[in-house]
């Protein structure tokens, strides 16, 4: 979902944000169908934070839209790491520095991966880089992947990163807003989800290695703007959340070689009310597990796998930018049986949701200032 803020709207938006909270402060207490929890401040005062991951020593690493990458250690936020790549910042949430991913074998190689928009207003593209984290410096920065969708468009960049079993890296790329038809073109990374090795190489078992008209890194295509992706704790399958236009936000399961239909099949309409297509389903198109109409503007996605909330184990959590809440989904196999709206009183845009190694659930709010918060049970 494309949200543009004018200078006046951005000022009003920031004025609505709560004052900075102290680390460890309980922001609110809430009862859900399955648990009573409190929302606790982890870090505040961040400038439009976007992506979050965890280092093996318990520290957090966070990206800010402006291009900064920072480390959070027991609530203390570092200065921006030196050595970060230059990014194009034109519209909060659609360009700039996006996601961060820590290598699964970080203890051995110290690799950090970043996804961002690179270039200028006339020609820009999504890039993935990796670098070694040495203290508070990113060293040996190298570009391991770049899309082939250079354009003056700067909206709908994606971009979420996640690791799969076997150590391959998945990345989501948006349709650049005004290039929707390219999502059906397997020769373009626009509107696709790619799969690469940790050095940028192409796995031999990707679905289109011998198709001369297709990009060999593409794993699936026909997506609009995926901003959440997470591995199911039992099956290992990747589930992802996708922005529709006006309506038609979706949850999908990522399948090898699948076409997810954008823009030839959608449950949404265009922002001016015109019909994009009469098709919501088509033969050969992978349909969603569920969809939202009107839009909720889905963002980060995480399965709960910890011990702090036993009744949440296996549930799927998704951030909402438009409705400004956290959505909990109860599952049975591949079916979503029940949805619950959480953190409605917080009234903040939730950009990312992450399962922490400590058993707590973490959220990122993307205002300026924005923050990182943790859901903790009221009764341990």
**pLDDT score at 363:** 98
Active-site annotation holds for 156 = yes
Q: Over the Cα atoms of the chain, what is R_g?
A: 19
Burial class (CB in 10 A: 0-12, 13-18, 19+), 43: buried
- Judge contact between 124 and 168, C-beta under 8 A: no
290 or 90: which carries more pLDDT confidence? 290
Pick the CATH number of 22-377 from 3.30.2010.20, 1.10.10.10, 3.40.50.150, 2.120.10.30: 2.120.10.30
Helix (H) or strand (E) holding 199: none
pLDDT in tens, 27-64: 999 999 899 999 999 999 999 999 999 999 999 999 99
Give percent helix, percent strand, percent coil of the chain, each to the nearest 5.
5, 40, 55
pLDDT in tens, 253-277: 999 999 999 999 999 999 999 999 9
Outline where the chain has alpha helix (H). 7-15, 106-109
- State the virtual CA torsion across 298, 300, 304, 305 in degrees, nearest 10: 150
pLDDT in tens, 86-95: 999 987 667 8
pLDDT in tens, 199-254: 999 999 999 988 889 999 999 999 999 999 999 999 999 999 999 999 999 999 99
- Write the CB contacts of 8 (distance below 8 Å, at least 6 apart in sequence): none
Q: Which of 155, 156, 178, 311 is catalytic?
A: 156
What pTM value is reported for the model? 0.92
For the chain, give every domain's residue range.
Answer: 22-377
Rounded CA-CA distance 182/311 in Å is 42
């Amino acid at each position: 979902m494309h949200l543009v803020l004018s200078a006046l709207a951005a000022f009003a938006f920031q004025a609505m944000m709560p004052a900075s909270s102290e680390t460890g402060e309980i922001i609110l207490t809430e009862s859900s169908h399955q648990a009573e929890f409190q929302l606790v401040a982890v870090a505040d005062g961040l400038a439009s934070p976007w992506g979050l991951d965890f280092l093996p020593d318990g520290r957090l690493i966070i990206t800010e839209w402006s291009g900064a990458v920072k480390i959070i250690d027991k609530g203390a936020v570092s200065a921006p790491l030196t050595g970060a790549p230059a990014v194009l910042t034109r519209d909060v949430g659609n360009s700039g520095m996006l996601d961060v991913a820590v290598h699964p074998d970080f203890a051995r190689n110290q690799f950090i991966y970043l996804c961002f928009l690179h270039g200028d207003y006339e020609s820009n593209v999504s890039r993935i880089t990796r670098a070694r984290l040495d203290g508070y410096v990113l060293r040996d920065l190298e570009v391991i992947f770049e899309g082939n969708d250079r354009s003056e468009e700067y909206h709908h960049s994606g971009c979420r990163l996640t690791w799969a079993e076997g150590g391959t890296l998945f990345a989501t790329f948006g349709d650049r807003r005004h290039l929707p038809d390219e999502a059906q073109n397997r020769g373009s990374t626009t509107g696709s989800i790619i799969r690469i090795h940790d050095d940028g190489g192409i796995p031999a078992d990707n679905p289109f290695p011998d198709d001369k008209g297709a990009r060999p890194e593409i794993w699936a295509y026909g997506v609009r703007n995926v901003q959440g992706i997470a591995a199911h704790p039992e099956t290992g399958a990747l589930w992802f959340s996708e922005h529709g236009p006006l309506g038609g936000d979706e949850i999908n399961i990522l399948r090898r070689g699948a076409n997810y239909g954008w823009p030839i099949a959608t449950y949404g309409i265009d922002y001016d009310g015109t019909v994009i297509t009469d098709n919501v389903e088509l033969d050969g198109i992978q349909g969603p597990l569920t969809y939202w109409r009107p839009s909720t503007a889905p963002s980060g996605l995480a399965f709960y796998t910890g011990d702090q909330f036993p009744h949440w184990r296996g549930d799927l959590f998704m951030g909402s930018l438009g409705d400004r809440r956290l959505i909990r989904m109860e599952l049975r196999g591949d079916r979503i049986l029940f949805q619950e709206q959480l953190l409605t009183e917080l009234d903040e845009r939730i950009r990312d949701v992450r399962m922490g190694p400590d058993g707590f659930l973490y959220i990122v709010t993307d205002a300026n200032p924005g923050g990182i918060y943790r859901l903790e049970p009221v009764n341990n």
